[in-house]
Amino acid sequence: MFSWVLLSRQFRGNMESDKLKRNASAALFFLGTLVGLAGCAIYPMAVFTVGANDSSQEVWGISLVFLSLFPTCILALRFRLVAGCMMLFVPCFYIYSEFVQRAYMINVRHFPQPPIDSTQIIGSFSLTWPYVALGTFAILTSVLGWPTVFRWPTFFSLVNRNTSE
């Protein structure tokens, strides 16, 4: 009897812990979704300034930064590891696109550019920090085995069901 009470308390504690983990994940990804919606609203203003001096990689980088946080946060509610990897890809591609844009301005457009310093790289982090934070959270919690926020419903096959009628 005593062991049954301890076992039930431990099970209830695990259920409460899972619920807390699920709620924390839902809250963070919901905030990421709100930031992603803001990025979608800001995107038309960012694209309005695109012109002949911009390389295609920079346009892709800007588009990824402003448009991909919303869908990846929704994807993270169920597929946390995939979404986390996608979220960490965006800052890497954005920094790459900034360097390609710089080379494009120097070599193709023949505009002199100031030397690259750490302030330029840190400045690009101001746009991509939600991706780094949420992507790291998604990957770490996936590796640690946290429960997903949404679970798919279970479907039972009527064909393979053993019936003895």
- How many domains, the chain? 1
What pLDDT, on the 0 to 100 scale, is given for residue 1? 45
Q: What angle do CA 55, 100, 32 make, to 5 degrees?
A: 85
C-alpha Rg value of the chain to the nearest Å? 23
- Do the domain assignments include residue 76? yes
Instruction: For residue 151, tell me if it sits in a domain.
Output: no
Q: Please tell me the predicted confidence (pLDDT) of residue 5.
A: 41
**Domain contains 32:** yes
| Residue 134: inside a domain | yes
- Domain assignment present for residue 5? The answer is no
Q: What pLDDT was estimated at residue 73? A: 95
- Residue pLDDT tens, the chain, 165 long: 444 444 434 444 566 788 899 999 999 999 999 999 999 999 988 788 788 888 888 889 989 999 999 999 999 999 999 999 999 999 999 988 888 888 888 888 777 777 777 777 777 788 889 999 999 999 999 999 999 888 766 655 555 555 554
Predicted model pTM: 0.77
Is 11 a domain residue?
Answer: no
CA 138, CA 110: separation in Å to the nearest integer? 42
Determine the Cα angle at 56 with ends 54 and 60, to 5°: 110
Give which of 101, 123, 90 is closest to 54, Cα–Cα: 101
